[in-house]
Amino acid sequence: MNLLYKSTRSDDTLVTASQAILKGLAEDGGLFVPTVIPTLDVNMDELSKMTYQEVAYEVMKLFFTDFTEEELKNCIHKAYDEKFDTEEIAPLAKAEGAYYLELFHGATIAFKDMALSILPHLLTTSAKKNNAKNDIVILTATSGDTGKAALAGFADVEGTKIIVFYPKDGVSPIQEKQMVTQKGDNTYVIGIKGNFDDAQSGVKAMFNNKELAAKMDKGGYQFSSANSINIGRLVPQIVYYVYAYSRLYKNGEIAKNELINIVVPTGNFGNILAAYYAKNMGVPVNKLICASNDNKVLFDFFSTGTYDRNRDFILTSSPSMDILISSNLERLIYRITGSDASKTKELMDSLSNKGNYEVTVKMRDQLKDFEGGYASEGDTADIIKKIYEDTGYVIDTHTAVAASVYEQYKEAAKDSSKAVIASTASPYKFARSVMNSIDMKYDSLSDFELIDELSKISNTDIPKAIEEIRTAPVLHDKVCDAADMQSTVEDILKL
């Protein structure tokens, strides 16, 4: 069967999977969604015998139907290889009555690696399939994590270049070091004198510049985006929920068809949407628990039916979830309207014009799969300390938001279903907040002393991603004014 994709905001265009991956965003500003969510065509007994890569193929073949078996397997094998420090790719750790699905064993020790290690291969394959003759230039503005994960994913991928702009004084020392030590002949990292918004506006302006596009075309290049709304990032994230269920079943932790809960620390709503797609594909899931930090716009949405971004932006210890516009929520909204593109467009227009929208009672009825919750900074620190003291297991601040919300949910709902908690970053990535949660005495240590101490108390090896940057040489030292971003890109591409 050939599965096609359409926009959430109009009904007139149908595209193939590879076209949707290449385009990223639909021309009307909507997101691409599959016209139907396919059902798994292998059962749990079969899945439980498969490797991560084999499960990945079973899921992706149903969504990327215009890829040949060989193309898809090739992408999967290039992505999920020795870059991950465990053959399981996404292992489960049992602690304090829950199963932590560790999504941080890739190159940059955060869950963005799960999708960004395969996206470059899906993109280059899609370009070939559609006879795009140009090399792909990935242009990204980053506040830290996405930039490094995209750099690692695209480094030395033939037919691509990646250019990352970051605010010179607006990322953590570890994040900066991770980026400026990036290897690969096709990687470019530039600090700008400005903040993240300046970087993001500069990138957007280049994407929308028709003159630049023509110049690029002449030079043999075209821009593309590694943004989290690309369907090529969403689908690979479904895989690990199917895989996690199959491992629980294989290891006798759950009975056949037993319903489980899934708890996800949420920002842009991509990761939890993937869990929802997994449920719709036939994975036995009871509740999808959406965990927010103090930026609890989603909690308010699930409890009131109104989405309202008109509020202060709060900086927290889980920065990758500091978001007021959860872009991927649009795909869920589209579904609960009963696939009504004009209604979805109306709500999204209201969001961009007034900063809010309200869904109807009928739409709210369709949100019963979800449960919203949030954790304050204090709750987050407390649960890190508690789980460490009870079990010796150390979780990062993002995962801790989910763990705290799960505790609250269990208590309130008296629901004792088994739960998988998406563990989205290694504690080493946020070592200072994590260690301070356990004991403020650590605050006097330097960044690398903290890392050594974390290794000792958690009895885990320091990940290669961290070990490497201790001594890695700086390979990128370019800095430019925000106003000169375009000329910097033109220099790099020799336009």
Ligand X SMILES: *Cc1c(COP(=O)(O)O)cnc(C)c1O
Binding site for ligand X (CB under 6 A): 110-112, 145, 228, 265-271, 320-321, 398, 424-425
Q: 93 has which bridge partners? A: 100
Choice between 246 and 266, CB closer to ligand X: 266
Instruction: Name the DSSP letter for residue 319.
Output: G
Residue 436 burial (CB count, 10 A): 17
Q: What is the dihedral of CA 229, 234, 236, 242, to 10 degrees?
A: 160
HEC readout, 207-250: HCCHHHHHHHHHHCEEEECCCCCCHHHHHHHHHHHHHHHHHHHH
Nearer to ligand X, 265 or 463 (CB): 265
Residue for token pair 């689908």: 235
Q: Decide: residue 270, CB within 10 A, 0-12 exposed, 13-18 middle, 19+ buried.
A: buried
Identity of the residue, 186 or 225, whose beta carbon is nearer to ligand X in the bound complex: 225
| Closest approach of ligand X to the CB of residue 411, in Å | 23
The two three-digit tokens of residue 58, written as one number: 């079973």
Taking the complex as a whole, the smallest distance from the CB of residue 269 to ligand X amounts, in Å, to 5
- Cβ proximity to ligand X: between 135 and 396 the closer is 396
- Residue 112 a catalytic site member: yes
Q: E-assigned strands of 175-276?
A: 187-193, 221-224, 260-265
Q: Which residues pair with 33 in a beta bridge?
A: 6
Spot the catalytic one: 6, 23, 83, 112: 112
3-state class (DSSP) for residue 416: coil
Rounded-to-integer distance, Cα 132 and Cα 129, Å: 8
Shortest distance, CB of residue 273 to ligand X, whole angstroms? 8
Count other Cβ atoms within 10 Å, centred on residue 349. Answer: 13
Give whichever of 230 and 320 is closer to ligand X, judged by the CB atom: 320
As measured in angstroms, the least distance from the Cβ of 47 to ligand X is 24
* HEC profile of 288-309: EEEEECCCCHHHHHHHHCEEEC
Minimum distance of ligand X from residue 85's CB (angstroms)? 17
User: What is the set of active-site residues?
Assistant: 112
